[in-house]
Structure 1
Amino acid sequence: MKKLIYLLVLFYAALLSAQDKKWSLTKRDTIAFHADAYIGFDSFGAQYYIKNNVFIKKTKTQIWQYKNLSFGKISNVDIQNPLNIVLFYEDFNTVILLDNQLNETQRINFSENSIPILATATGLAFGNRLWIYNNLSQQIGLFDFLKSEYKIITTPFNGTIVYYSSDYNTFQWIDEEQNWYECSIFGKVRLVGKVPGFDTVQVLSDSELIFRKGNALYNYALNGNKSTLIEFDKKTFEKFYYKDQILSIFTVEGITNYKITIP
């Protein structure tokens, strides 16, 4: 009996230890530049940011810029495909598509669509389409930008979107009640779960995200409903971005990149 109790104690101690493991961060490099908003980096190492409402792409050897001040503030940028970048100007209900040298390839004014669209969320989807949240109908749809065709894929839903992200196959959002939802490209909507209160957030998968609260950064795992502090050597920061096990911390001095080892 004593041996059994001892083994159980060891088991639970090991379990608790595993649950408390934190991400291990190794500083990789620091890139000095000044920006108003940091967007992120692509698989080729290019950095994307906004300065004076000008969208900028920077590599080690070149800088490209896209400026369209007549459309006002850039509301959102989707860089998941560096060959087809999506700029969203919400105030003008317009999306601009750019190539890898930031040349404009297409301009889409949703106000001109035959089906009334007032877009408040956009992103690149599979098959030459854009995710659209239409605030007029409170529905998610897909806009084929080659055919200029819009297809509604969900029923209307209540709630205000406070954060959204997308990839080719899914559109995810968090509402004002901290409910986390996901919509597939076929229009199937599911409640992923409830998330902690946050100031800013980035969804990593359908079960994990990173969020900022104050000047602290946390990894949140839906399985186990556990938030784990991510420790790094910056007391304050403006924004964070995570991709391919690289965590980028944006401060007034520039970007510091950390290599992440996940336990």
Structure 2
Amino acid sequence: FWILFVAIGFSQEKKITPILLSSQQLVADEFIAMDSFGYYYYIKGNVFYKQKENELFQYKNLSLGKIKRVDLQNPLKIVLFYEGFNSVITLDNQLNETLSFNFSKIQNNPIVTSAVGLASQNRLWIFNSLQMQLGLYDFNKQVFQPLSQPFQNPIQFYQTDYNQFYWIDSNGLVSFCDVFGKISTLGQIPKFDSAQIISNEVMVYQIGNQLYYHYFKNNKSPQIDLDEKIVEKFLIKDQFLIIFTNSEIRTYQINLP
């Protein structure tokens, strides 16, 4: 009996319990992120906002339709992706427009992009859905350089940094490609609603209103124990977990293994 009891105890995944630090009211259609300076970024009425206490900046370009994605790796070069018009806008830290790209107008080699992210050396990660290929687009040369062979499965989720493009395909396979075109596979996860890859060893994914911390090496996913009935979006930054409900931002301290 005792051997069985101990075996069951060790087989159970230990939950990760964050500590609530603060909450702030926010009415938005979509919360994007918080930067290191305490600014909140969000979308409301298809207008992009940056806010901190009494400071408020905004950018709108309704002629390009819905903002599909925002890349905030560099607060001095924010990337807005308008998928419906196959276009990208870059903004400075006061949300002034600095560059504009319409990939349908590239001479000799038009691109239909379904994924965009900021890469190193004045380049963008681009997934060209015409050819089902991942590549890099050079700002200055206005040239697209393919890096991969055509993908076999659709992309369900993607995430970028300056040197890697991460994606999860329709089968739940997690992979990444570096700027030299080397592709590596990290593992597989179950069906999910949203995700954030923390490193090449771990990620967090969401199913419904529940979050799981996933280890690629042993394929285990301990639960993050949250007292939240609604999780519209989550973000892990340093040792903080930020949860956007339908009306507020809640910040937790989280000690991840």
TM-score, structure 2 normalization:
0.93
Tell me the distance in 2 between the aligned counterparts of 1:188 and 1:218.
28
Stretches of structure 1 lacking an aligned partner (at least 5 in a row): 1-8
Deviation at 1:197, TM superposition (A): 1.4
Tell me the distance in 1 between the aligned counterparts of 2:256 and 2:182.
31
Residue aligning to 2:232: 238
Q: Is 1:89 aligned to residue 82 of structure 2?
A: yes
* Contact persistence 2:65–2:84 (CA under 8 A): yes
Q: Is 1:195 aligned to residue 195 of structure 2?
A: no
Provide the secondary structure at the position in 2 that maps to 1:27. Answer: strand
Superposition pairs for residues 11-90 of structure 1, below 5 Å? 16=10, 20-90=13-83
User: Relative to 1, partners in 2 of residues 1:135 and 1:184: Cα closer, same or farther, differing over 3 Å?
Assistant: same
Tell me the distance in 2 between the aligned counterparts of 1:39 and 1:113.
29
Tell me the distance in 2 between the aligned counterparts of 1:259 and 1:146.
41
* CA deviation map 1:131-167 (0-9, x unaligned): 0000011111111112312211112121110100000
Q: Is 1:254 aligned to residue 244 of structure 2?
A: no
Deviation at 1:61, TM superposition (A): 3.2
Tell me the distance in 1 between the aligned counterparts of 2:231 and 2:23.
14
* Contact persistence 2:25–2:249 (CA under 8 A): yes
Provide the secondary structure at the position in 2 that maps to 1:49. Answer: strand
* Contact persistence 1:22–1:262 (CA under 8 A): no
Q: Is 1:216 aligned to residue 214 of structure 2?
A: no
Greater CA drift, 128-137 or 209-218: 209-218
Moved segments of 4+, more than 4 Å: none
Deviation at 1:43, TM superposition (A): 1.6
* CA deviation map 1:182-223 (0-9, x unaligned): 101101112221112111111111221111112211111112
Alignment-mate amino acid for residue 114 of structure 2:
T
Tell me the distance in 2 between the aligned counterparts of 1:229 and 1:23.
6
* Contact persistence 1:116–1:136 (CA under 8 A): no
Tell me the distance in 2 between the aligned counterparts of 1:100 and 1:23.
35
Residue aligning to 1:156: 150
Provide the secondary structure at the position in 1 that maps to 2:181. Answer: coil
Tell me the distance in 2 between the aligned counterparts of 1:165 and 1:237.
20
Provide the secondary structure at the position in 1 that maps to 2:84. Answer: helix
Tell me the distance in 2 between the aligned counterparts of 1:190 and 1:33.
39
* Contact persistence 2:113–2:126 (CA under 8 A): yes
Count of aligned pairs between the two proteins:
252
* Contact persistence 2:72–2:79 (CA under 8 A): yes
Residue aligning to 1:204: 198
TM-score, structure 1 normalization:
0.91
